[in-house]
A and B are shown apart, each in its own frame.
Chain A
Amino acid sequence: MNSGLVMYDEEFRQIAGICDRLTREAHAKVVFLVDKNGQLIASSGQAQNLDTTSLASLTAGNVAAMGGLAKLIGEKEFPTQFHEGEHESLHMSIVGGRVVLVVIFDASSSLGLVRLRVKRAGDDLAKIFETLAVKQSAPGAQSPFAEITDDDIDNLFSE
């Protein structure tokens, strides 16, 4: 059961680098990467003014709901989604079956450009997540929980 996602410094830097590059190349306002369970992994661009935690949770909810719809009509999933707003648009794509790459852009970019850049970024990200999966399943992979005592857990709830 305990096969949650683990992120290490090295891979995080690579992921952040890819998100930054995508933001530039796609002329995006914001790019963020979310675990399918709703955890924010990385963000890039003008994310400071955004509630990224809520965005991550709603993205996961949306992808899960669309995945449910896909199954109902006999599809495995909808790997990409596009939502066009009056000023801002949103492009979501599933990467490596496990994470969702979200690009928010306005009229200074276009859907065509975003799709093109997302394709390459998605391929690069998928490779990193494969590496992570291997690293995580390697024997002796350290979890920060290995050294945690019952007292540490109790202390968290003591106040």
Chain B
Amino acid sequence: MSFINYSSREINCKIVYYGPGLCGKTTNLQYVYAKTAQEAKGKMISLATETERTLFFDFLPLSLGEIRGFKTRFHLYTVPGQVFYDASRKLILKGVDGVVFVADSQIERTEANLESVDNLRTNLAEQGYDLDKLPYVIQYNKRDLPNVATMEELQRLINPRGVPEFQAVAPTGVGVFDTLKAVAKLVLTELKKGA
């Protein structure tokens, strides 16, 4: 749910990175944080366990620039990917404007990816959202690993609707900004449509 402030001339939107455990959601945010100019970003917050697994969420505020005199700000969140943190995942989806699904391309994670997409759809529905109507992009992460599924296979399983999709290697930044730009653009286009 966007927040349009006429007083400070700001538009704030919320983007959530979703996906199975260890697929690279936090790594996406860390890369964005590392490569964004100081004046365009706020502090990155990670609520993580001692072993650096996301416990509740990561949060990164970004400024993208101005549209017609309005500063556009995006708040990026990740969810905890581990299955048993489902209650927390639901909370983070509240008020979401756009979703990035980060898939783990490794063959052995196929089932985890599918389970996570299903979980995303269910949790969104509980908040009154329809995944098919929300700004939504998919990122196939870990494309540099040797045991990855083919793109055709991943597309068939995870992206039957053909939403924008990107191949990525999050630690080195491949595909990270392409993914973010695509979802941000969809969010703004959606706001324009709803205006």
The answer to whether A156 touches B4, judged by C-beta atoms less than 8 angstroms apart, is no
- How many residues in B have their beta carbons less than 8 Å from beta carbons of A? 48
Residues of B within 8 A of A68 (CB): 87-88, 90-91
B85 to chain A, nearest CB (A): 11
A143–B64 CA distance with the chains assembled, in angstroms: 19
**What 8 pairs between A and B have smallest CB-CB spacing?**
A37-B95, A2-B194, A12-B7, A4-B2, A145-B195, A143-B195, A64-B91, A4-B1
Please name all residues of chain B whose beta carbon is closer than 8 Å to the beta carbon of A8 when the two chains form the complex.
Answer: 6-7
Seen from chain A, the residues whose Cβ lies within 8 Å of a Cβ on chain B are 1-9, 12-13, 35-39, 41, 51, 53-54, 57-58, 61, 64-65, 67-68, 143-148, 150, 152-154, 156-157
- Contact check, B94 vs A64: say whether CB atoms are below 8 A apart: yes
* 24 pairs, A vs B, C-beta closer than 8 Å: A2-B190, A4-B3, A5-B2, A6-B3, A8-B7, A12-B5, A35-B95, A38-B75, A38-B95, A54-B42, A61-B91, A65-B56, A68-B91, A143-B194, A144-B6, A144-B67, A144-B70, A145-B191, A145-B194, A148-B195, A150-B192, A153-B188, A156-B188, A157-B184
How many pairs of residues, A versus B, come closer than 8 Å at their CB atoms?
134
Query: Which B-chain residue is minimally distant from A141 (CB atoms)?
Result: B195
Chain A residue nearest to B13 (CB atoms) is A4
Within 8 Å by CB of B4, from A5, A54, A61, A67, lies A5
Q: Is the CB of A150 within 8 A of B61?
A: no
- B195 proximity list for chain A (CB < 8 A): 2, 143-146, 148
Interface centre among B3, B57, B64 (most CB of A within 10 A): B3
In the assembled complex, the CB of A131 is this many whole angstroms from the nearest CB of chain B, namely 14
A1 touches B133 (CB 8 A): yes
B32-76 interface (Cβ within 8 A of A): 42-43, 45, 47, 56-57, 59, 61, 64-65, 67-68, 70, 72, 75
Most chain A CB neighbours (cut-off 10 Å) among B67, B92, B97: B67
Interfacial chain A residues near B191, Cβ < 8 Å? 2, 143, 145
